């Protein structure tokens, strides 16, 4: 460890003077690995926000080095900073390359491994994030782009003579566009839908810009969608993986959903477009394929193009299939036709025989490969963990990221038939000081005779002869996997470390258990998946180490919806609830949200369509607000006011309903957060409020409960001292 620290310090000293003058950071305070102290082995929200966040491993062209990034949070500054590191391919000789006041993002090797390109925002006032290039040792930093609206991502052509840059262009009209004399008017003038999306008012959209690159500067920057009002990549998830240069550099394939307004809001039909760089002509490669088409990837020879494709328009959680097209004949083939799981990411093997891929599978996200000719699937790396990156090596190994409920991302190398090898150890020192938490896989019988994979995390130093309070975790999505995820908000290890048994069921409507299991939840929000939650709760309450009277239920997004629904339909199963960004009123949600394909598919359509039996059933039986008359349990509600996906008024409705029914309730609203809680101090505040609420209702002898009781006694005494209005009159 001392040798590593010495190496890091030497690199930091060598780059400090360079970076301070190269990026104009001046006296800006740097964010580095924090000095923290673990007390009695306990994991805390502060320690959670002190862990290094490892990401984006990139194998050098010669296969000898791995570039990666590490970010740290500053609780004091309420921001994070990401720096770049490099190590040998076996994990040795890790060196820090950058030490700057802002984050270096999306690092990529160029110039045969002699240089590194990345996105960086200079600290100068008014600066935008741009494309930068530096030498492989961290020296010679230079900004090479000057796009007016900055750069969000990039992709170099195989010969590196061209580069694609993701930037934004103006969308819509301002009052000043229409009425130049009203220079101080401030309004949004809206004629169609998709005027807001997730956490932004849509006044700009991403476009792909193509530029020539001579190794040091960009020329002839061109918006290849100039004048077209379409997003590419698609918000909010799309990035550089939405583009692929052909190996000969003559064409660029990009992902786009060429729709706007209402048409965009009701459709998931994106396509792959092949753009001829010389002529500017564009061809739709997936015409007639009606769902999402994303993640184009050419093999090295250019003979085949692979991508991910969903079948149905309007179904965003459809099975993601691997498709392959012969680039000469145009013949398309589905590789995963006989493999009943949904794929998340793909990458070609060096010998072009395989496609490596990631996919939820039986409660985890393993690393697989599929034979392009035979469609046979092999597991490369599995176990009680998730994998999260794909960088194939020439010898059949794969550089990847791995995490679990118990550990955050670290860089690993995986190889078929062998145990994955950990290459980075960014967080080992802190994690070794924490009391260990145990994770077990439990199979829970469901009401319809199936077996449900349920993860159970046990507190440190647990004595199974004693009884413990528990927390049922309700997943969002609704069709997001309850795999071995590591979250900086819903951190199950942190929950267990506070003395709770944490129960995480893979209820109906989650990927990883086949298409039927995943699809069942649509049009059945209040049905089988809610029975699955109650089955897990009832099953776990029968365990000798569970306190049956002190179980809480928590969740966000669809998990927040689940909490609201369970609050009116749980029959005293739970002692408290906590919902973040949850849907409370489905009728309001239908008209408040922006991605209409989602509510149309999952709810069945609009509530005013009285002839639509499926939709009418949803609104009559699945909307939590219809069961408020049954609410009888303390509930905490949180939301971000910048959340335009599930508008925070859903939270205020639920809170008001609880208080009008005289149910103990607490609401925490974050004016500067969206669907997630992203800022360091807000994150810690959220965690403190979370555990204060859980302790109040699930730990009768806790300080939180004693403080609550004291407050209630004070309120009661004040009420007794008040003179009734009639008597005073």
3-state secondary structure of 208: strand
**CA atoms of 605 and 84, how far apart (whole Å):** 47
**CA atoms of 372 and 306, how far apart (whole Å):** 10
Q: List the catalytic residue out of 470, 557, 562, 702.
A: 557
**CA atoms of 494 and 563, how far apart (whole Å):** 20
| Bridge partners, 142 (sequence order) | 133
| Bridge partners, 117 (sequence order) | 108, 133
User: Are 646 and 557 a contacting pair, CB within 8 Å?
Assistant: yes
CB atoms within 10 A of CB 201: 12
**CA atoms of 204 and 396, how far apart (whole Å):** 42
Which tokens sit at 406?
């118990």
Which helix (H) or strand (E) is 705 found in, with range? helix 703-721
CB atoms within 10 A of CB 402: 25
Q: List the catalytic residue out of 643, 683, 695, 702.
A: 643
Q: Could you identify the residue written with the tokens 């996997």?
A: 481
User: Are 118 and 104 a contacting pair, CB within 8 Å?
Assistant: yes
Which tokens sit at 479?
């069709």
Contacts 24+ apart (CB under 8 A), 220-223: 221/145, 221/147, 221/165, 223/169
Q: Give, as one character, the DSSP assignment of residue 435.
A: P
Q: What are the respective helix, strand and coil percentages of the chain, to the nearest 5? A: 25, 30, 45
Ranges assigned E (strand) in 527-644: 546-556, 576-580, 635-640
**CA atoms of 149 and 197, how far apart (whole Å):** 19
Alpha helices in 109-209 (DSSP H): 175-178
CB atoms within 10 A of CB 422: 14
Nearest to 650 by CA among 578, 557, 715, 575: 557
**CA atoms of 616 and 608, how far apart (whole Å):** 8
Alpha helices in 576-622 (DSSP H): 586-592, 596-603, 613-621
3-state secondary structure of 183: coil
Which positions ≥6 away from 12 have C-beta within 8 Å?
Answer: 96, 99
* Residue 643 annotated to the active site: yes
Q: List the catalytic residue out of 246, 349, 675, 683.
A: 675
* Residue 557 annotated to the active site: yes
Q: Which residues are known catalytic residues?
A: 557, 643, 675
């Amino acid at each position: 460890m001392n040798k590593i620290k010495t190496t890091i310090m030497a690199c930091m000293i060598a780059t400090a003077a360079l970076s301070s003058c190269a990026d104009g950071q001046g006296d800006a305070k740097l964010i580095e690995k924090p000095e923290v102290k673990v007390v009695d082995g306990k994991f805390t929200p502060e320690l959670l926000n002190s862990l290094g966040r490892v990401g984006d491993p990139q194998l050098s062209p010669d296969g000898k080095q791995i570039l990666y990034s590490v970010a740290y949070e500053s609780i004091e500054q309420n921001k994070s900073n990401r720096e770049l590191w490099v190590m040998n391919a076996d994990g040795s000789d890790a060196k820090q390359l950058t030490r700057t006041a802002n984050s270096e993002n999306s690092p990529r090797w160029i110039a045969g491994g002699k240089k590194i390109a990345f996105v960086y925002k200079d600290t100068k006032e008014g600066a935008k994030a741009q494309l930068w290039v530096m030498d492989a040792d961290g020296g010679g930093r230079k900004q090479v782009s000057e796009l007016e609206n900055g750069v969000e991502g990039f992709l170099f052509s195989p010969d590196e003579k061209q580069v694609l840059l993701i930037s934004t262009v103006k969308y819509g009209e301002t009052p000043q566009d229409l009425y130049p004399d009203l220079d101080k008017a401030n309004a949004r003038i809206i004629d169609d839908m998709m005027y807001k999306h997730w956490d932004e008012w849509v006044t700009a959209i991403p476009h792909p810009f193509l530029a020539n690159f001579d190794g040091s500067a960009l020329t002839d920057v061109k918006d290849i969608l100039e004048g077209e009002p379409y997003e590419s990549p698609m918000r909010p998830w799309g990035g550089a993986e939405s583009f692929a240069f052909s190996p000969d550099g003559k064409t660029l394939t990009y992902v786009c959903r060429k729709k706007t307004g209402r048409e965009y809001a009701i459709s998931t039909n994106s396509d792959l477009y092949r753009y001829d760089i010389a002529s500017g002509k564009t061809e739709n490669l997936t015409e007639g394929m009606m769902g999402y088409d994303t993640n184009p990837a050419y093999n090295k020879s250019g003979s085949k193009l692979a991508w991910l494709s969903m079948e149905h328009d309007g179904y965003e959680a459809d099975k993601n299939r691997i498709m392959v097209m012969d680039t000469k004949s145009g013949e398309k083939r589905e590789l995963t036709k006989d493999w009943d799981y949904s794929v998340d990411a793909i990458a070609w093997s060096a010998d072009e025989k395989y496609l490596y891929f990631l996919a939820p599978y039986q409660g985890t996200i393993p690393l697989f490969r599929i034979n392009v000719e035979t469609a046979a699937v092999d597991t490369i790396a599995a176990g009680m963990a998730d994998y999260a990156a794909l960088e194939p090596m020439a010898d059949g190994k794969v550089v990847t990221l791995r995490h679990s409920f118990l550990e955050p991302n670290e860089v690993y190398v995986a190889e078929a038939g062998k145990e994955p090898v950990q290459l980075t150890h960014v967080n080992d020192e802190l994690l070794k000081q924490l009391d260990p938490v145990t994770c077990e896989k439990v199979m829970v019988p469901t009401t319809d005779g199936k077996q449900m994979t349920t993860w159970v995390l046990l507190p440190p130093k647990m004595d199974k002869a004693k009884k413990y309070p528990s927390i049922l975790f309700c997943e969002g999505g609704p069709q997001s996997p309850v795999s071995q995820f590591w979250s900086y908000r819903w951190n199950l290890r942190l929950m267990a470390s506070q003395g709770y048994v944490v129960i995480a069921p893979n209820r109906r409507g989650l990927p990883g258990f086949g298409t039927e299991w995943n699809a069942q939840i649509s049009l059945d929000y209040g049905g089988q998946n809610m029975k699955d939650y109650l089955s897990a709760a009832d099953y776990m309450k029968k365990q000798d180490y569970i306190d049956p009277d002190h179980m809480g239920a928590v969740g966000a997004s669809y998990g927040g919806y689940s909490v609201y629904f369970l609050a009116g339909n749980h029959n005293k199963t739970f002692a408290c609830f906590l919902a973040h960004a949850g849907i409370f009123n489905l009728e309001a949600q239908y008209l408040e949200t922006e991605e209409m394909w989602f509510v149309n598919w999952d709810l069945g359509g609009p509530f005013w369509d009285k002839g639509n039996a499926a939709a009418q059933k949803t609104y009559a039986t699945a909307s939590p607000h219809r069961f408020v008359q049954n609410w009888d349990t303390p509930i905490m509600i949180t939301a971000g006011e910048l959340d335009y996906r599930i508008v925070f008024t859903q939270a205020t409705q639920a809170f008001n309903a609880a208080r009008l029914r005289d149910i103990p309730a607490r609401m925490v609203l974050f004016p500067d957060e969206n669907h997630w809680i992203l800022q360091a101090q807000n994150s810690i505040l959220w965690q403190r409020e979370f555990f204060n609420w859980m302790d109040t209702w699930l730990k009768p002898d806790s300080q939180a409960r004693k403080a609550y009781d004291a407050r209630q006694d004070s309120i009661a005494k004040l009420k007794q001292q008040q003179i009734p209005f009639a008597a005073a009159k």
